[in-house]
Amino acid sequence: MQMRLCTGGTFLLLALLLAGPADAQTNPQNAGLQVALRAWGVYFGPIDGIAGPQTARAVRTFQARRGLTVDGVPGPATRRAFGRLGRPLYGQRTLRQGMVGWDVSVLQFLLTRRGAPTGMVDGRLGPRTARAVRSFQRRAGLAVDGIAGPATRRALVRASGVRSARAGAPARSVRGLLDYWAGRYGMSRRFIRALAWIESGWQRHVVSPAGAFGVMQVTPATWRFVQTVLLGHPVPRTASGNIQVGVVFIRHLYRRFNGNVRLALAAYNQGEWAVRRYGVFREARRFAANVLAMRGRV
């Protein structure tokens, strides 16, 4: 995307991830998911924060039993169906002894990982977990009160080496992420997959000479515009965030050009201002034609 656009400490929630075997990674929010699944008798694996195939199968099993859409994604409806262990996500409240919830499970996972074991990771903040919080606070140079407030939660995340992100998006294969964000914003999945393929070949780390990067080849200026103007909140610098920004931006251009998909694609390639001022350049015309020709083939 050759976008040229001159527009210009709250703790961000950790992303809820569902990683496939090729890109499995540790994310504490997954520990909350695994504890909830285990409590419902559909998951028997370790509480390790890696939501691989076993966790994904357990999510689908739970969804089928509860009459939910079986998509393997632990979205809001699935988390509500978990009951007390399905909410809230880690980072949304201060945690004190006696609390129960998804975020308590994540807290216990993080504490154990940082050498302050809590015993069973079960989503219940009992005396042993409170003692573990105090132990961690003491070692981290924090106020020792046994309460996991913002400073303690941030310290746990930093100590665990986990990247911060906004909650709500699963991290799966690139194709899965493309389909997820396309569906989330009402765009054609085939169209978004084709656009990403022409831009990067679905590669996460491609950087163009113009500084566009990632699966959707987003420039820093476009990223800032989407964050500040179109969404109004930060987007994590991850493959999922890159795809989200690209999908939101092409939807914006589609609307700006009154549903003319060729003009929207041309603007994605050369910039909206340049399309309106100079018309569609030959390179942008080829780009749009290539994307449309690729629909249904990837």
Q: Is the pLDDT of residue 12 over 90?
A: no
The predicted model scores a pTM of: 0.51
Neighbours of 39 (CB within 10 A): 17
**pLDDT-derived band at 291, boundaries 50, 70, 90:** very high
- Could you tell me the CA-to-CA distances from 168 to 120, 136, 235, 236, 241 in Å, in that order? 26, 28, 11, 11, 11
Q: Could you tell me which residues are beta bridge partners of residue 213?
A: 207, 218
pLDDT at 49: 83
Instruction: In whole angstroms, give the CA distance from residue 159 to residue 256.
Output: 44
Q: Domain 174-294, what architecture?
A: Orthogonal Bundle (1.10)
pLDDT in tens, 13-31: 333 444 333 333 467 888 9
CA 242 to the chain's CA centroid: 10
Across the range 37-58, mean pLDDT stands at: 86
Asked whether the beta carbons of 241 and 13 are under 8 A apart, the reply is no
**pLDDT-derived band at 163, boundaries 50, 70, 90:** very low
pLDDT at 16: 40
Instruction: In whole angstroms, give the CA distance from residue 88 to residue 189.
Output: 30
pLDDT at 297: 81
pLDDT at 114: 87
Percent of the chain with pLDDT over 70: 86
Q: Could you tell me which residues are beta bridge partners of residue 89?
A: none
pLDDT in tens, 220-261: 999 999 988 998 888 999 999 999 999 999 999 999 999 999
Annotated domain spans of the chain: 28-160, 174-294
Instruction: In whole angstroms, give the CA distance from residue 119 to residue 23.
Output: 29
Q: What angle do CA 96, 97, 99 make, to 5 degrees?
A: 75
pLDDT at 146: 96
Least confident of 179-188, 197-206, 234-243, 264-273: 197-206
Q: Is the pLDDT of residue 210 over 90?
A: no
**Which positions ≥6 away from 286 have C-beta within 8 Å?**
none
**Which positions ≥6 away from 215 have C-beta within 8 Å?**
174, 177, 178, 196, 199, 200, 202, 203, 204, 206, 239, 242, 243, 246
pLDDT at 171: 41
Q: How high is the mean pLDDT of the chain?
A: 85
pLDDT in tens, 60-88: 999 999 999 998 878 889 999 999 999 99
- Amino acid making up residue 34: Q
pLDDT at 258: 93
Asked whether the beta carbons of 198 and 294 are under 8 A apart, the reply is yes
**CATH code at 28-160:** 1.10.101.10
Asked whether the beta carbons of 12 and 25 are under 8 A apart, the reply is no
**pLDDT-derived band at 172, boundaries 50, 70, 90:** low
Asked if the domains 28-160 and 174-294 are classified in one and the same CATH topology, the answer is: no
pLDDT in tens, 107-140: 999 998 888 989 889 999 999 999 999 999 999 9
